[in-house]
Amino acid sequence: MESRNPTTPRKKILIVDDEEPIILLLKTILGVYGYDSCESLSPSATFSMVEAEKPDLVILDIAMPELDGYEVCRRLKQNEKMRHVPIVMITALALEQDRKIAMEAGADGFILKPFDPRDVIAEIERLTSGK
């Protein structure tokens, strides 16, 4: 991966997962690659965080309490103010059906846990390169 130009604004990634170790791992990976991040353990807080933080991308777990990631994704993509934000679903659900449901919900990318950090960064770069 290329190093970032220090004069280029850092992209902000919102991480939504109900597992703190996953959030900490992703924050570390993103920091190493020059991204800023914010996080939420609560799927229902995602909507207000997207409005407040204005992230360049959301990494969203699927299996969470309250609302699953599919429903959070659907709601974000149905909201005119938020639909432009790319969403990468990240999950241990490995069936092709899970990927299909995620894409139907509006996800822009899909990564399986356990993940390779390079795959996470490649997906972020693919989806934010025009921003």
Domains of the chain: 12-128 (3.40.50.2300)
Predicted pLDDT at 68: 95
Residue numbers in the chain where pLDDT is lower than 50? 1-3
What tokens appear for 50 in the block?
A: 């997207």
Which H helix or E strand runs over 116?
A: none
Q: What is the pLDDT of residues 90-118, one digit of tens each?
A: 998 777 899 999 999 999 999 999 999 99
DSSP-H helix ranges across 1-40: 20-32
